């Protein structure tokens, strides 16, 4: 299935490696629905599949890096090119920042929404985008499972894709 991507869409993926499995385990214990599928989130930066996300650095990558993995792509209903451009003005401050690995410990201890510095983890970056769009009030302490659960039931998002990315 060919997916028409737009700048400003959001995505979640499931990292099958060790860190992703560990994130999923802890998210499952903290989850309201007792399930956790997705361990990473990010933003679609342009229609060519370039992404903006927090990996080793908060930087531009590509959605095709997730080939063979379970991916969910959602589109905020109010998304327009102007909405994305305005949001990017705020988000670009994080471009090139080093990933804050220490924040993972704060997430584990359920302290991430109370203790924070400058740089967000992947899901906090995505949630900040949603704060800019006025879809949520807070972004610190949000994990990928929180976002995916929200998208599944949100009247503010359309699920564009949910399956194995090829």
| 2 is a domain residue | no
Q: Residue 132: pLDDT above 90?
A: yes
Q: What separation in angstroms does the CA of 34 have from each of 24, 31, 39, 137?
A: 11, 5, 15, 24
CA separation for the pair 14, 118 (Å, rounded): 26
Q: Which domain holds residue 14?
A: 10-164
Do 92 and 98 form a contact (C-beta atoms < 8 A)?
A: no
| 1 is a domain residue | no
Read off the pLDDT of residues 143-166 as tens digits, 9 standing for 90 and up. 898 899 899 999 999 999 999 999
| 115 is a domain residue | yes
* C-alpha Rg value of the chain to the nearest Å: 15
| 5 is a domain residue | no
Q: Cite the DSSP H helix spans in 46-94.
A: 81-91
Q: Residue 24: pLDDT above 80?
A: no
> Which pTM was predicted?
0.89
Task: Check which CATH number belongs to the domain holding 33 and give it.
Answer: 3.90.1720.10
**What is the structure's pLDDT at 28?**
54
| 38 is a domain residue | yes
Read off the pLDDT of residues 77-114 as tens digits, 9 standing for 90 and up. 999 999 999 999 999 999 999 999 888 888 777 888 89
| 52 is a domain residue | yes
**What is the structure's pLDDT at 26?**
61
How many domains does the chain contain in total?
Answer: 1
CA separation for the pair 87, 133 (Å, rounded): 7
Q: Which helix (H) or strand (E) holds 92?
A: none
| 104 is a domain residue | yes
| 3 is a domain residue | no
Read off the pLDDT of residues 31-85 as tens digits, 9 standing for 90 and up. 666 666 788 999 999 999 999 999 999 999 999 999 999 999 999 999 999 999 9
**What is the structure's pLDDT at 117?**
80
């Amino acid at each position: 299935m060919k997916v028409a991507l737009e700048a400003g869409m959001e995505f979640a993926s499931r990292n099958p490696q060790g860190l992703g499995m560990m994130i999923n385990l802890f998210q499952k214990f903290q989850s309201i629905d007792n399930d956790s599928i997705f361990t990473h989130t990010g933003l679609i930066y342009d229609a060519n599949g370039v992404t903006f996300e927090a990996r080793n650095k908060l930087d531009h990558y590509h959605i095709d890096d997730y080939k063979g993995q379970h991916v969910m792509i959602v589109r905020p209903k109010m998304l327009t090119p102007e909405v994305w451009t305005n949001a990017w003005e705020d988000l670009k401050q994080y471009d090139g920042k080093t990933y804050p690995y220490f924040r993972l410990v704060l997430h584990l201890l359920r302290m991430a929404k109370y203790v924070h510095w400058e740089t967000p983890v992947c899901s906090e970056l995505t949630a900040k985008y949603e704060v800019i769009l006025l879809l949520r009030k807070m972004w610190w302490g949000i994990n990928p499972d929180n976002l995916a659960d929200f998208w599944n039931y949100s009247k503010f998002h359309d699920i564009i894709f949910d399956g194995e990315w090829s």
